[in-house]
Amino acid sequence: MLPWLVAAASLVLAVVGWWPRLVELEASVAVSGSVAQWQAQRARERMLATPGVAHVAWDGAADGNSGDVVWDPRQQRGFLRLRGFVANDPQRVRYQLWIFDAGRDERYPVDGGVFDVPAGHDEVLVPVYPTLPVSRAVAFAVTVESPGGAMVSNREKIVAFAHAGG
């Protein structure tokens, strides 16, 4: 009988111990709309706490959009936070991130990936994984491109820009 009581008590303690985390997860998922966004938020927070990580706000964003860029040069990855961006139809257009590298010709920024802003989301977190190594990020830009993205953007429609300095 004693082993069953110990097992039951352990189960109760585990549930009580994890309950606050489960409530936090449920609240975060309800606000962001998906577990992926919740995971991105936690990873972004950890990245922000890391020394040497750049954190820059959008200098210029169209139509009252706002947000920021978090970039870790050692890990060669980061996150975009987009607030108030218009939802896109991936069949017609996609957003694309460009990373301007001090070590490269500014006519050819590094592709940071294409992404979408789903309808009904005021804030979206986008993980950034560039296609090429970035020696020193000096600026970030988001453009609107065709569904497949662009190899080289003509930059006709820049919807956000962040100057990282340097």
Residues 6+ apart with CB under 8 A from 33: 118, 120, 121
Is residue 37 within 8 A of residue 125, CB to CB? The reply is yes
Q: What is the pLDDT of residue 13?
A: 61
pLDDT band at 101 (very low <50, low <70, confident <90, very high): very high
Residue for token pair 């100057």 = 163
pLDDT band at 132 (very low <50, low <70, confident <90, very high): very high
**Overall pTM surpassing 0.85 (yes/no):** no
| Distance (Å, whole) CA 94 – CA 117 | 9
Is residue 85 within 8 A of residue 124, CB to CB? The reply is yes
pLDDT in tens, 31-57: 345 778 888 899 999 999 999 999 999
